[in-house]
Each structure stands twice: as C-alpha cells, then as structure tokens.
Amino acid sequence: MSLDFQSDKMTFIIGDVRDLERLKLAFRGVDLVYHAAALKQIPSCEYNPFETVQTNVIGTENVLRAALDCKVKKVIVISSDKAPSPANLYGATKMCAERIAIAANAYTSGLSPRPIFSVVRYGNVAGSTGSVVSVFRKQFAEQGQVFLTDERMTRFWWTAKQAVAWTSSVAEIMEPGCLYVPLIPSVKIIDIARYIAGNRIAIVGMRNGEKIHETMLTEDEMSKAEPRNGMYVIRPDAKEWTVRVSYNSRDNSNWLSGEEAVKLAEVE
C-alpha cells in the first residue's frame, strides 16, 4: 500500500528539530504542536552527549522559536519521568527542555492570540520501540533466558493509546507554564521477566545512568502540585503545600502484575 504524503487530512514532512528553518516551514498554519522528538536510549545518550544535547535541548529551543515565529497557538513539550532528579544525560536534557518550554511563555506578551507553552511528563509506554517486553521476548527466544539489570527495578507503565488520549485531553485545558503529570500504575520489572521466562533470569548489573526507581514528581514539586482529575498540575505561580512526599514508581499505590503489564504491551 502506498503512503499518501499529502492529503486533505494529513501532510508528512521529513525534517529535523535541529533545523530551525525547516521547522518554520512545517509550522506554517499550525495551531497545536506536540513536541516528542528526542534521543532517549540511555546508554546511547551517555556515549553521545553532544548529539543528545543538540537534539533534546537545542532542538526543543528550535521548536519553541519556530512556534513563536509562526504564531502557533499551543505547544506541548512531552517530557519524561527521568527529568526529575536526573541521574543520566537523557534525564538532564529533558529537565532542560522542560525549563526552556515553561520559560518560553515570557516571550508571548503582546502576541494575539497569546501562545501557550506547557509540559507533560509521564513514564514508560508499553509496547513502544525498545520496550522491555519485546527485549525480554527476544532474549528468551534466542538465548533461553532474560537479562535483568537489577531485581528491584520498578517503572511507571501505560499504553501509547492511554498516553495519546491523556495528552490530547491536556491540550484542551492547558494553561501557560503549567506542568501536567498523570496518575498511572507501576510495575516491577522482575514480574514482567518472570511472566515471560519463569525463573530463567540472569541479573547482570545496572547500566551506566540507570535508576532503580523512577520519580514523576520530586518532594519539592509535590509540595506545589495540585491534584486534578487523575493528574497533578504544577502552575508557574504555585505556592507550597505541606505535603512533601515524592511521586515515584516504588511507592505508588497503583500496581500492575507482570501478566497485566505484558498484555498491555501486546495490545499496542
């Protein structure tokens, strides 16, 4: 089946977030931008820091500059649970991207309509490229066992459809400079490994830049977070509350079994 690169409903444009002029061409007449482009494979980012910064940080700045020049009404920068308290370069660049996006609202005064720049932050997407489920299945099929870096690992977990639906709902209500974080379940990675491979699991040690648990909101951020309809919202003018407990994948109140996590990945 051939792909229609230009139709009444959609136009496909090849480009690079490092190319500001190309972004300006792509953004002409656009009302809403979801910025999800990033280098995100942690070992690759650790080994290629210059390239990671060029794409994840400078690329985000280019997206925001192009949006301002083209009078885009709304931009949502899609971030990661690795941005809070980053332990690797990917997380650090995502933290920078978040700050750049929120600060971009300072450059919108005098524009009519005034553009809105906001950030959403969420965790692992089941069934996405490089997902641990597909990796474990491949390892088990080829080597008769799976390789786990640390048996204590936990991660936030939901599907691409859930992520898209939630992010689209945020686009309807987004306000300038706000950070939006969904309430989603966690899973123990060893439970996924056991569901796929039983007891044939080899513990190989943590990779450079890897975290045992992921944090969606730090204690300081939680002190400013407002609960709202299945999510947390941090407004740019938020005042501190009294609660200072981080929202992380280890202490989550909502958990999936290994079987449930794998089945979500298979649905995708």
Active-site residue numbers? 82
Which burial class, exposed, middle or buried, applies to 174 when counting CB atoms under 10 A from its CB (0-12, 13-18, 19+)?
buried
3-state helix, strand, coil in the chain (%, to 5): 40, 20, 40
R_g of the chain computed on alpha carbons: 19
Range 12-25 burial, b when 16+ CB lie within 10 A, else e: eeeeebeebebbee
Task: Report whether 141 contacts 167 (CB < 8 A).
Answer: no
* Cα-based distances in Å from 159 to 72, 93, 229: 28, 24, 19
φ/ψ of 28, rounded to 5, equals -65, 125
Beta strands 146-148 and 201-203, pairing class? parallel
Q: Give the tokens for residue 208.
A: 């450079």
